[in-house]
Amino acid sequence: MAFQSKKLINDPNDIVTEFIEGLVETYPGLQYLDGFPEIKVVLRADVSAATFDKVAVISGGGSGHEPTHAGYVGEGMLTAAICGDVFASPPVDSILAGIRAVTGQMGCLLIVKNYTGDRLNFGLAAEQAKSEGYKVEMVIVGDDCALPPPRGIAGRRGLAGTLFVHKVAGAAAACGLSLDEVAAEAKRASEMVGTMGVALSVCTLPGQVTSDRLGPGKIELGLGIHGEPGAAVADLQPVDVIVSHVLKQILSPETNYVPITRGSRVVLMINGLGATPMMELMIAAGKAVPRLQLEHGLAVERVYTGSFMTSLDMAGFSISVMKADEGILRRLDAPTKAPAWPVGGDGNRPPAKIPVPLPPSLTTKSDETLSRPEQLNPQGHILEVAIEAAATEVVNLKDSLNEWDSKVGDGDCGSTMCRGATAILEDMKKYYPLNDPAETVNEIGASIRKVMGGTSGIIYDIFCKAAYAHLKANNGSIIEPHHWAGALDAAINAVSKYGGARAGYRTLLDALIPASSVLKERLASGNDPVDSFVLSAEAALAGAESTKHMQAQAGRSTYVSGDILTTVADPGAMAAASWYRAAAIAVKQKYQPS
């Protein structure tokens, strides 16, 4: 299947030029070289070859890997970056111009990723610069650990581990070291790092048609950063499994790509490839650290997580592991003004992260711990039946609620409600004092508060707190039907007060308000309480269905067009009507079977 990509660009031929224009407008410390746009060189705005008294550190390559390379230009890191077209090595003339612009008497170091085009173009530029009298050294970085040796003359590709080399060399140069010393540190750093990538999708070249060669449910292992195929295609696995595989590949003693053995100190980089959410990268980081510690016996000294060397909009990540000593750690921690280098990653890490203890509540608690009674009284039996039926109905509705919410919200109503319902079912077996209805309602709110995030969680917590307060004020051990009706009314008023919604706003209140009205009316007329609850539940369901014809005035649905809203009832209202109705019917079937 092929499709035309959608990009926020103008002319695809101008994409690198316009990226650089935006970059230098964003960061005052960066500037581009005169001769732009034919010469695409980003350099420190404070550096001139005539006055610069330190070794210049220059890198570059094809564009499409942003923020690499230009994002790492700044004091303490790169002095200049040479930008080629997307996935294309920069031409010799651009590299030469960069060398001439920033190289003073101390000379310059070229840091080049191991791709044939980059080696040839940077190498020719280096030789030309030397013939002009410049002192130039070059370090080639090949940190790829995807394939076992030998790799022929191509060798290992340069991947995200190159950024560690940039940082080490830039910090060494900032200290005033000689060209030979800076080059030696950069070369040593390049020999200490290994990287392997994993892709979930193919990247999209600007203005071109994209073909997803992977297909659904597949991933590529051991790919480069230019959209080329990986070493292997595999089924999508949980990130635990993927991280474990990648780390074993990098640290394999058979390939011996990196001199890392048990007891070594290392730094870790989890690098997004362009379209991977930060949440997923952090999950990978959280799984990688303990595996390095426990499975491989390594001391993890630093962790860097983010999108540092991307491949346009590719979904996936790479992992880099670098052997570290005090010298390398000092270089990595050294200050830099390069805008894309991650802040907050420096400093010694504790061997294990111990959670900060939860602060105790300032409210006075009863000496008696709430727990499920050994024997249930009649009220307790009714509560158990009602709660179990209501929570089970919510669990069963999870997928439907998510589907409805995907049309008018953010698609997680069912998942959120299911977490709350599952917690209620679990906690009821252990903690709920079912013989005390007021305290049971309060404990339901506590269960919800623990696991339900977002607006739904706080609304239901407020709902339970208000109902609890009303029931508690009764001061009686027996809760009559009219007390429950009053508790429902109090809960509705509290939700309306704090949430701002009213009848007709297309929320759960549009289910609960009709239910409350019918319940109060029938109880006041002396009707059977169980039948009254069942009929009020039917009113709740009808109220929820009526939200199809309402314009949303609260929640995320306010941003959805009316045409879409008419296709589905409000998921929150349907959830409320469903659990209310399930509870009422379960009690009737249990205590008034036909």
Catalytic positions, written as ranges: 226
Tokens for 108, please give them: 């310059």
Q: How far apart are CA 92 and CA 110, in angstroms?
A: 13
Q: How far apart are CA 212 and CA 335, in angstroms?
A: 41
Contact 392, 582 (CB under 8 A): yes
Q: What DSSP assignment string belongs to 519-547?
A: HHHHHHTT--HHHHHHHHHHHHHHHHHGG
* Residue in the block written with tokens 């109902």: 467
Count CB neighbours of 354 within 10 A.
7
Q: What DSSP assignment string belongs to 76-134?
A: TSBSEEEEEEETSPPPHHHHHHHHHHH--TT-EEEEEES-HHHHHHHHHHHHHHHHTT-
Tokens for 174, please give them: 């900032």
Q: Is 38 exposed, middle or buried (0-12, 13-18, 19+ CB in 10 A)?
A: exposed
Q: Which residues pair with 274 in a beta bridge?
A: 314
Q: For residue 197, which of 325, 298, 290, 65 has the smallest C-alpha distance?
A: 65
Tokens for 6, please give them: 């959608």
3-state secondary structure of 136: strand
Q: For residue 121, which of 153, 143, 98, 151 has the smallest C-alpha distance?
A: 98
Count CB neighbours of 377 within 10 A.
14
3-state secondary structure of 503: coil
Q: Which amino acid is at 490?
A: A
Q: Is 376 exposed, middle or buried (0-12, 13-18, 19+ CB in 10 A)?
A: middle
DSSP 144: B
For strands 80-86 and 41-44, give the pairing. antiparallel
Q: How far apart are CA 578 and CA 395, in angstroms?
A: 11
Count CB neighbours of 314 within 10 A.
25
Q: For residue 234, which of 254, 216, 213, 218 has the smallest C-alpha distance?
A: 218
Q: How far apart are CA 215 and CA 211, in angstroms?
A: 9
| Burial readout 331-346 (b: 16 or more C-beta within 10 A, e: otherwise) | bbbbebebbbbeeebe
Between CA 546 and CA 554, with CA 551 as vertex, the angle to 5 degrees is: 100
Q: 37 preceded by cis ω (within 30°)?
A: yes
Phi, psi at residue 188, to the nearest 5°? Answer: -65, -45
How many CA atoms are closer than 13 Å to the CA of 365, on its beta-carbon side?
7
Q: For residue 266, which of 239, 243, 288 has the smallest C-alpha distance?
A: 288
Contact 173, 111 (CB under 8 A): no
